[in-house]
Structure formats: structure tokens, C-alpha cells
Amino acid sequence: MSARYAMITPYCKEDEGLLRRCIDSVRNQSVRCDHLLIADGFPQAWIDRRPVRHIKLDRAHGDAGNAARGIGALLAIAEEYDGIGFIDADNWLDVNHIEACLEAASTCEGGASHCDYVIAQRRFRRPDETVMPIPEEIGHVDTNCFFFLRGAFSVVPRWATMPKAMALVGDRVFLMMLRQQPFRHVRAEKITVNYHCIWESCYWQLGERPPERAKPNVDANKVGAWLRSLPTRELEIVYRLVGVAVIGAPRPEERDAGKEGAGPGSRNAPCACGSGKRFKRCHGALTSRVG
């Protein structure tokens, strides 16, 4: 039996033109795959006539697509697909995206069967689709750049278990969790993901005026403040839901011990990302683009 691949697209109120572009890019893949579109409360009837699977949730979840993304992934896992990728409704793929991910997986030590996930690469695009000469943020992996193979399926549903208050930095929290796993991964050499960029900072970086409806960067400190406000038991549950002790909030046992100063839960402690910087100078000071 030949391998089966799925691309998952959560959507809410995106423009029809953007959705059509996304759908066409998946349909035209050089390696056949199934496209699961998960309507997060606002299904668009025309999609029923497209060659996709259209799953309709009865309400919107207001979590940057996390619930819809996780539900789509769970369906693909239950139906025993061999690979799962994500592409948001406003983004699109080069025709060789899945092919490039599979080629990269074959370079893993031990071969493709030993590869747990692939990190694809993206290019930033303006709303008119012209390329923005912006390098990828060091150490960051956008949600649209993940291609998961069966060895990593166990953690993919974490998108749906992540608390809504963390949704705006969900890609960073997910990556933090993923790096704690004993998974093998490779990075694709070819750029195959087209990222519809709406972040103001990217345009200011290029000396350009941001387009209409561009968004300011997300202040990750708000998430840290929310975490630090939680009672010990609630914080413990959050850690279990996301699968990692999140940077910027003390572990429950540290809070109970009343540690201060430069302890592991302090903003003066070394950042858990391994940069060697103090947390407040690294992820604690982070204002982030969210994919």
C-alpha cells in the first residue's frame, strides 16, 4: 500500500481568494496528498464543491486555529496517514513541498523510516505576493514549516490541548515542547512554503510602510504574566497540557519553596532555550511574530 499524506488547514473568516490559493497549492502537489480544511465556526459553502475534506466545527474557538489544527491532526492520525503537514489559510505551498520534505527525510541517519519530522523553509511574501528579503528568525520554526512523520504523531495533538491564553505564542510553545522530545529531525534545503506576511515589524525592517490591516508584534510577556498569576495547581495543569514547563513561569515546586533571586523560575536565571543569556534578556523580552 502506498504512503498517504495529509495537509491540515484551519480557517475562520479568511477571504475566499486566499483560501482558493491555499487549496490550489495543495491540490497541485507533485506528491499526492489529501487536504483537510477545518472550519472554525464559519464554514464557507463553496468549499464543499472543491476536492478537499471539509470538516465543520459548530463554533469558533478564538485560539489562532489551534483547536481546529489539533482536530484535523487527530483525524489524520486516527486514519493512519503516514505524514501530516500544516498550511494556514492565507499561506500557500510550492508544488514540490511534500516531495522536498520526503527527500529531506531520506537523508536522516538510518533513512526516512528513522526520521520523526522535517522542518521546511519559508519565504516571506507581501499581500501582492512579491518576495520580502527577510531571513528566518534564528531558532524559530513556523507552524507551516512542520511536516510530521509517524514517529512524532504522539505530540501533534498538543495544538488542541494548549490553553487558549497561550494561543498567540502557540508556535513557540509547541516548539519548546518538541525540543524536549527524543525525536530525530532534518531540515529541508529547498524553500517551499510561502508565508503571507502581515507583521508590521517586517515592513519597518525593510524601510517600507506596512500594508492596511498589518498587525503589531505579539507581546509574549503577557503570556508570561498570565502564567505567573496562576495558582500552583493550575500552573501544574498547564504544564501537563502543553507538555513542557514553559519558560518565564516558575515550576510549581519552585514557587512553593519560595525561591527568589536568580533561581530557575527567576527572570535573572539562564534562559531555558540554551542561549546562555538571562531569561529577561532572551525569551522574557521577546516580542514575536506568530505564524
pTM for this model (two decimals): 0.84
265-269: long-range contacts at Cβ-Cβ below 8 A with a sequence spacing of 24 or more? none
Cβ 66 vs Cβ 170: under 8 Å: yes
Strands (E), the chain: 5-11, 34-40, 53-57, 83-86, 92-93, 117-125, 131-132, 146-149, 185-196, 218-219, 287-288
**SS3 call for 222:** helix
Choose the final residue of a domain: 205, 238, 270.
205
On whether both 232 and 118 belong to a single domain, the answer is: no
pLDDT digits (tens, 9 = 90+) for 126-183: 999 999 999 998 899 999 999 999 999 999 999 999 999 999 899 999 999 999 999 9
CA dist 263 and 254 (Å) reads 8
Query: How many Cα atoms within 13 Å fall on the side-chain side of residue 43?
Result: 15
Q: Report the percent of the chain where pLDDT is more than 90.
A: 77
Nearest to 77 by CA among 153, 160, 168: 153
Choose the final residue of a domain: 177, 205, 233.
205
On whether both 108 and 9 belong to a single domain, the answer is: yes
Does the structure show a pLDDT above 70 at 218?
Answer: yes
On whether both 284 and 182 belong to a single domain, the answer is: no
Residue 213 in any domain: the answer is: no
Residue 126 in any domain: the answer is: yes
Nearest to 85 by CA among 137, 33, 22: 33
On whether both 11 and 106 belong to a single domain, the answer is: yes
What is the total count of domains within the chain? 2
Residue 211 in any domain: the answer is: no
Q: What is the mean pLDDT of residues 184-211?
A: 95
**What's residue 224's pLDDT?**
87
Q: Residue 262: which domain range?
A: 218-288
On whether both 67 and 124 belong to a single domain, the answer is: yes
**What's residue 168's pLDDT?**
86
pLDDT digits (tens, 9 = 90+) for 25-59: 999 999 999 999 999 999 999 999 999 999 999 99
Q: Which CATH number does the domain housing residue 120 bear?
A: 3.90.550.10
Residue 166 in any domain: the answer is: yes
**What's residue 202's pLDDT?**
93
Residue 133 in any domain: the answer is: yes
pLDDT digits (tens, 9 = 90+) for 64-110: 999 999 999 999 999 999 999 999 999 999 999 999 999 999 999 99
Residue 119 in any domain: the answer is: yes
Mean pLDDT of the chain: 88
**What's residue 255's pLDDT?**
55
The amino acid occupying position 53 is R
- Separation in Å, CA 17 to CA 9, 51, 125, 247: 15, 16, 16, 38
pLDDT digits (tens, 9 = 90+) for 251-290: 555 555 544 444 444 556 665 445 566 655 554 544 344 4
